[in-house]
Amino acid sequence: MTARKKDEPRMSAEDRLSIYGILKKNFSFDEDYPLANLGWCFVREGINKEDYGFLKLKAMLEEMVDFVSTSTKEIGGVSQSMFALHEFAPFEEKLAEEDESEDTQEGASGSEEKPEASEASSDAEKDNKQSFSEVIADEEKCKKETNTKSNSNKKIETRSEKEISAESSPENAKGDKEGKDSKKVSATKDENDSKDKNGIRSEKATNNKNESNNKKVAKEQKDTKEAKKTDEDAGSKGDRRSSVAALPSPAQGEIAPSRRLESSKGSSSKQKTRSSSKPASRSQAVSRASGDRPRRRVIPGKALERFGYLGTWPEFLRTLANLALDEPWDFCNQDIGEATRKYDILHNYIRYTFYRLTLEDKIGFSSDEDFAVFNTGLVDRHYEDIYACFEPSDPERPEEARYAWSFAGFCTAGTGRLGKRLVRELSPLPQPASYLERKEDLLFDLDREVVCDVHHIVVDNVHRLPVNFLRDELASSQECLGILAGIEDLTDGARGDRFEKLRIVIENDTRLFNRLSTSINAAIDVAKRQVRWNYKTAVPAYYPRTNSMNLLLPLILTDSPTPDVALVVELQKSGNYQGQTVVTMAQAYRDARLLCRPYIDWLSPASIIDAAEEEDEEE
């Protein structure tokens, strides 16, 4: 099987500047951060390393050595890759110029409302504005655009002369009727001549105005030329490469190159282009320059499926479960066929583990990019790491044609064909995912305050609370009791409609809302006493959708001796714990298993009898 065709890595000065602006908004200068934080930032901002021809994030960072550095740090006995952002003077100057230009535009826009500001002055200010791409474009490109516009104008003028000549040609006048038409043409020609004279004068005035603006543009380009030269000399290989061309749309199931540097909630400063009166983000300007295309929504749980062809999930999971150290991979009531939710815990584990590895840039590739491997984080009976291996997909096989990679099998290092190839091709071997950045991620501090988003718990997530608990707490409301009557026997859609009605009632009835809030807070107090009795009661967990570490506390809301739901608390920089939400016991176990197998009696697959369907990842 032939090697994958490589894309030549490429990053322009514009790309690097745009990424610099985004990183500056998200990170402090000269401070070490886990590489996963950078990967998460790129996911949020729509930056895809593959759009630039890179398979590895670290290789992409080598193109930005003038403002990004990487290092290795030992955290909790595990080696982690770190990165740091550094201030880069040439880019700081360009960003300052862009911000100043934006402020000037906003001032010009506001002055239009003032009576003393003339429309001519406002138009002149708009004409003098330059988009980000024009500021850093080289002089040859500017000359080329000017020549193109000039040639276009000449063609228009030549065409107009030909049309007028054709209309006034004697050959068009034939016979008496044609003679009358000739008189009309003559009259029309005289009228057009008069208009053309006025048009010529208007065109001259416009040309003079454009010439003046061009001189100003040339002066600004001259001022920035020196800074640009410094950037290109000090920078990376990407400065010497051409801008990123638009990549072809990926086939379904393949990892999709997202729209490069697309604007999002955390995007960089806005700017104004000549073709629009509304500000556009710097990232949008880069997208337009490289070929704008729809951005594919990032779904963490689908990352592995889009990476390569896995065959069938049941076979993939069965093979891994048989090889790994024995542990329960199903909840106790999972007595259904393999084609549905068999190996439910393992299915969740391997998908989100792979996603975390992509954020940490821990997917291993051979030097010829013909072999890909990741560490599953699981071990066999001899405690040897288990690796998942991929080879280039076969385009002649329809099921593989739309993928770049195809699953080749699991292995341990040095054993079998794949294990020996792993040792031969990769050094160091791919490392497992790491999650812990501080000891506070493991231990709950009883001296810190827990502040809950009670509205989110009792209103937005009322469907996660036990029905018996809701019936007891809302017994004084006949409307609520009517909504909850027989709700367990309804289909998912009908049950969702009932809970939506219940949300409206609870939100509009202060008495009911307060009653639920009081019961939730009482359950939290009990959970804190349990942690005081046994510190292991607070279970660390990873939440993929926000790339955050949390602690899970058991909440007992009914007469049952086992918890009904788990409270998700996250340590804030202030020192307080934020109670984010409550999750079902099945969700709690899935999130906790990403770190390790929980050894605590309140969170065990054997005690979880309500393994509800996994909820929408967009939640």
pLDDT value of position 460: 93
Q: Is 277 exposed, middle or buried (0-12, 13-18, 19+ CB in 10 A)?
A: exposed
Q: Which of 58-72, 134-148, 243-257, 574-588 has the highest mean pLDDT?
A: 574-588
pLDDT value of position 131: 42
Q: Decide if 608 contacts 481 (C-beta within 8 A).
A: no
pLDDT value of position 201: 43
Average pLDDT estimate for 226-242: 41
Q: Which of 31-35, 96-100, 174-178 has the highest mean pLDDT?
A: 31-35
Q: What are phi and psi of 465, to 5 degrees?
A: -80, 150
pLDDT value of position 298: 66
pLDDT value of position 6: 53
Averaged pLDDT of the chain = 74
Stretch among 277-291, 530-544, 572-586 having the lowest mean pLDDT: 277-291
**Is the pLDDT confidence value at 287 over 90?**
no
Residue 539: strand pairing partners:
552
Q: Is 243 exposed, middle or buried (0-12, 13-18, 19+ CB in 10 A)?
A: middle
**Is the pLDDT confidence value at 166 over 80?**
no
Q: Decide if 23 contacts 45 (C-beta within 8 A).
A: no
pLDDT, tens only, 120-161: 444 444 444 444 444 444 444 544 554 554 454 544 444 444
pLDDT value of position 321: 95
pLDDT value of position 7: 55
% of the chain with per-residue pLDDT over 90: 39
CA count, 13 A, side-chain hemisphere, 295: 20
Confidence of residue 63 (pLDDT cuts 50, 70, 90): confident
Contacts within 8 Å (CB) and 24+ apart, 380-386? 380/323, 380/324, 380/325, 380/412, 381/325, 381/326, 383/325, 384/412, 384/413, 384/415, 385/412, 385/413, 385/429, 385/432, 386/320, 386/323, 386/324, 386/410, 386/411, 386/412
Confidence of residue 564 (pLDDT cuts 50, 70, 90): very high
% of the chain with per-residue pLDDT over 70: 63
Contacts of residue 281, defined as CB under 8 A and 6 or more positions apart, other chains included, come to 263, 267, 268, 269, 270, 271
**Is the pLDDT confidence value at 69 over 70?**
yes
* Other beta carbons less than 10 A from residue 158's beta carbon: 10
Give the residue with greater pLDDT, 535 vs 181. Answer: 535
pLDDT value of position 267: 38
pLDDT, tens only, 435-494: 988 888 888 999 999 999 999 999 999 999 999 999 999 999 999 999 999 998 888 889
Confidence of residue 185 (pLDDT cuts 50, 70, 90): very low
Confidence of residue 297 (pLDDT cuts 50, 70, 90): low
pLDDT value of position 60: 87
CA count, 13 A, side-chain hemisphere, 205: 5
pLDDT value of position 35: 87
At residue 253's C-alpha, the angle toward residues 252 and 254, to 5°, is 95
pLDDT, tens only, 514-542: 999 999 999 999 999 999 999 999 999 99
Residue type, 359: L
pLDDT value of position 161: 46
Sign of CA dihedral 579, 580, 584, 587: negative
pLDDT value of position 107: 65
Give the residue with greater pLDDT, 502 vs 609. Answer: 502
pLDDT, tens only, 385-402: 999 999 999 888 888 888
Confidence of residue 330 (pLDDT cuts 50, 70, 90): confident
Closest Cα to residue 22, out of 286, 362, 274?
A: 286
**Is the pLDDT confidence value at 177 over 50?**
no
**Is the pLDDT confidence value at 342 over 70?**
yes
Distance CA 166, CA 151 (A): 22
Residue type, 94: K
Give the residue with greater pLDDT, 239 vs 140. Answer: 140
Residue with tokens 């150290």: 325
Query: What is the chain's alpha carbon radius of gyration, rounded to the nearest angstrom?
Result: 32
pLDDT, tens only, 398-420: 888 889 899 999 999 999 999 99
Widest pairwise Cα distance in the chain: 113
Distance CA 469, CA 403 (A): 48
Q: What structural domains does the chain harbor?
A: 13-97 (3.30.420), 300-425 (no CATH), 439-594 (no CATH)
Q: Which of 71-75, 205-209, 281-285 has the highest mean pLDDT?
A: 71-75
**Is the pLDDT confidence value at 208 over 80?**
no
pLDDT value of position 214: 54
Residue type, 31: E
DSSP string, 163-205: HHHHHT-GGG--HHHHHHHHHHHHHHHHHHHHHHHHHHHHHHH
Confidence of residue 326 (pLDDT cuts 50, 70, 90): very high
**Is the pLDDT confidence value at 83 over 80?**
yes
**Is the pLDDT confidence value at 103 over 80?**
no
